[in-house]
Structure 1
Amino acid sequence: MRKVYLSHNSIISSLGFDSDTVVKKIKDEVSGISLINDKTLFHNPFYGSVINKTILKNKFEALKTEENYTVLEQMMLLSLSKVIEASNITIDESVGLIISTTKGNIDVLDKTSDFPKSYAYLSRLGTVLRNHFLFKTEPLVVSNACVSGILSISVAKRLIHENVYKHVFLVSGDLVSKFVLSGFNSFQALSNSICKPYSKDRTGINIGEAIASILITSDTNYLTEESVEVLGEATCNDANHISGPSRSGEGLYRCVSAAMKEATVTSKDIDYISAHGTATIFNDEMEAVAFNRLDFQNIPLNSLKGYFGHTLGSSGLVETIIGMHSLKQNTLFYSKGFTSLGVSKPLQIIEKTKQQQLDIFLKTASGFGGANTALLLKSVS
């Protein structure tokens, strides 16, 4: 079976408009989270991260399109254009397109929006991207709560293995919107300070927005310095609750176990874990239980939510790309916001950015509805 790789990539977030800039900020332990006072989004000031829309507008104008796109569409077009251009791949029938999002253009449903309500349909994103870049094949939209970003990588890998495509472009994104903020607030999940994953004094999540794009390919001619091979992947649903994870970590335990089986690795082969780490009481505890069941308690682990909050459907892809750069630089990035361990099982949280030889990392994500997804990725450099 042919090998599948993650290659050219792009991140747009509060920390910058390209992957290298974002990774540099994280290496310097700089957070893009701030106190936001915008009553069009939320009735009270809240901690979160948003992309600078003035810079976005200036950069988007370089695409020289006269179409009237939503903010999310502009971000996706800008991010994906960088990856397509850098890869120099000709768009033909061997090239697929996947869009990963949790809420898509949900903001157009607000009564102040100037866009038609029909733009909220997720298929709209597929139509926009396909038409702009002239994809020859039907785009696929993956929307499965907060595992969408890395689940899309799994889907792309399987499509390549089935010889449906030779290359797949993946773009993933969600916005900070009134709908999302009010929803998480109704769960009493929003933190009144910068989030602190796995910490004793954690009080909830920060919502952030980010867009990420990546090339998934079977052709080694299109690899980059930070490229990784997808060794194994799996998704399981714990079927516990619409918003609460299994207290035993069963879904996460099973999907990581399945990914490890496919990759033929043991806990001793994994150099670090890029975990979900939302800083909510139940998520962090569930992960700690699952990781200990997997004998991962001594593997260095971080959550990147302290840098740009929880970016929903894009979080898994954004954090995967940062993990790729972590392997390239042989650097473990500080789990920003961590103070003292606040879960019932031991974890080796990365408390300071440091150099360490790295080869294989595990990326996990968990989401509403009981979804759990895991990827095992190996450096090819």
Structure 2
Amino acid sequence: MKKLYLLDDAIISPLGFSTEENIKAIREGRSGLKRQQKPEITENSFYAGIIDESPLNDDFKAIGNPKKYTKLEKMMLLAVQQVLNKNPNLNLAETALVVTTTKGNINLLKDPGNFPEIRIKLSELGKVIADFFGFAQTPIIVSNACISGGLGLAVARRLGSIGKIKNAFVVGGDLVSDFVVSGFNSFQALSQEACKPFSNDRNGISLGEAAAAMLVSIDKPESSGNIALIGDATVNDANHISGPSRTGEGLYQSIQKALKETSISAAEIDFLSAHGTATIYNDEMESIAFHRSALQDTPLHSLKGYYGHTLGASALIESIITKHSMLKNYLYSSKNFGELGVSKSLNIIQQNEEKEINYGLKTASGFGGCNLALVLKKE
């Protein structure tokens, strides 16, 4: 298959309303997670990264009427607009739109406001984005649990490889809705502290909301430094609707298939961006899969301590941060990590450091047994 080049991007999150602001916050060790209260759902407080809608509306006024769009739509539209500002000559009639999310506008179930019932459909979310900017092609919706954001990149690459598209926008987003909070609370998976991926004192997930957009292309750009997606694979472990495989089989196979496609070995991977949700079973499963893949010595981090789990946006945001890490040859620490709390040894990044990164690996896993591996190369 062809390479997919990762071009301009934007992140809208509690850490800032641009990729640059987000990277600056991560470099400085700042987290977007704050203590939250939802007494109607749980008597216990929990940590989550939630975007203040007031400054979001202030920024959105520059491109549209905030009252006409949901919070999630505004986040996603702002992300796309930032990328378009850097590419004013892009022909949207020839550019595909890939929208990745797990739940979309599901908050409208509780409070529809003045929005019509159809607005809750994922297809309608894609249509809102397409109509706002004038994308000519029907949006492609990718909703495969928490691998959705990264899977959107893989879908764009595969469509490009068979000549269906040349350029695409991959746009991801999700909210910390009452639906999502109540769901994770029912699993007793919400941490009452900021989450601690791979640590022995981890006790659950922190949720987050964010949106991201990335322009991608099959054509190599003329810039001197580029990051390309050169291998991808997704394997479902078919273990349980919400519990990952105890052997890490699906993630292991995803990694092996992605590496085989690129004809490189695990030893050549310079950096690994893990899923790292800080739940007991997810982190353990990942450690087993990484160990089986001979990646136990590869520098690794999870970004969940900065963002929380942003669901359908997470793998896209983490791919964006991986891209910039590779371009800058800079590794960011895995926030809130203490003492290793999984059965297999891992090389967790505990402080920011400079390192030559030629090959990166991004992995993700999610409900329903889905797993994803993306291999990135610097050119």
- TM-score interval, smaller chain: over 0.9
Post-superposition CA distance 1:255-313 (Å, at most 9, x none): 11000011111011100100000000000000000111011111011000000100000
Post-superposition CA distance 1:180-223 (Å, at most 9, x none): 00000001110010100001110000000010000110223375
- Aligned in 2, Cα 1:18/1:42: closer, same or farther, shift over 3 Å? farther
Q: Distance in 2 between matches of 1:17 and 1:130?
A: 21
What are the ranges of 5 or more consecutive residues in structure 2 without an aligned counterpart?
none
Instruction: State the TM-score, normalized to the length of structure 1.
Output: 0.96
1:300 is aligned to 299
Q: Distance in 2 between matches of 1:234 and 1:2?
A: 14
- Aligned in 2, Cα 1:88/1:112: closer, same or farther, shift over 3 Å? closer
2:148 is aligned to 148
Asked if the contact 1:7–1:223 (Cα under 8 Å) also holds between the matched residues in 2, the reply is no
Asked if the contact 1:108–1:114 (Cα under 8 Å) also holds between the matched residues in 2, the reply is no
Asked if the contact 2:98–2:140 (Cα under 8 Å) also holds between the matched residues in 1, the reply is yes
- Aligned in 2, Cα 1:124/1:223: closer, same or farther, shift over 3 Å? farther
Alignment map for 1:153-192 (pairs within 5 Å): 153-192=153-192
Deviates more, 1:101-110 or 1:355-364: 355-364
- Aligned in 2, Cα 1:263/1:313: closer, same or farther, shift over 3 Å? same
1:129 is aligned to 129
Asked if the contact 1:195–1:202 (Cα under 8 Å) also holds between the matched residues in 2, the reply is yes
2:269 is aligned to 270
Q: Deviation at 1:86? A: 1.1
Letter in 2 for 1:283: N
2:360 is aligned to 361
What are the ranges of 5 or more consecutive residues in structure 1 without an aligned counterpart?
none
Q: Deviation at 1:117? A: 2.9
Alignment map for 1:211-290 (pairs within 5 Å): 211-221=211-221, 227-290=226-289
For the pair 1:35 / 2:35, whether they are aligned, the reply is yes
Q: Distance in 2 between matches of 1:223 and 1:217?
A: 13
SS state of the match for residue 104, structure 1? coil
Aligned residues: 379
SS state of the match for residue 276, structure 2? coil
Post-superposition CA distance 1:304-358 (Å, at most 9, x none): 0000100000000000101111112211110001100110011011111111111
Q: Distance in 2 between matches of 1:222 and 1:312?
A: 33
Q: Deviation at 1:88? A: 2.8
Instruction: State the TM-score, normalized to the length of structure 2.
Output: 0.96
Alignment map for 1:32-181 (pairs within 5 Å): 32-37=32-37, 44-65=44-65, 68-111=68-111, 113-181=113-181
Q: Deviation at 1:87? A: 2.2
Q: Distance in 2 between matches of 1:224 and 1:275?
A: 28
Q: CA RMSD in A?
A: 1.6
Identity of counterpart residues, as a percentage? 48
SS state of the match for residue 277, structure 1? coil
1:13 is aligned to 13
Q: Distance in 2 between matches of 1:198 and 1:172?
A: 25
Asked if the contact 2:99–2:142 (Cα under 8 Å) also holds between the matched residues in 1, the reply is yes
Letter in 2 for 1:53: E
Alignment map for 1:331-370 (pairs within 5 Å): 331-370=330-369
Asked if the contact 1:33–1:48 (Cα under 8 Å) also holds between the matched residues in 2, the reply is yes
Letter in 1 for 2:99: I
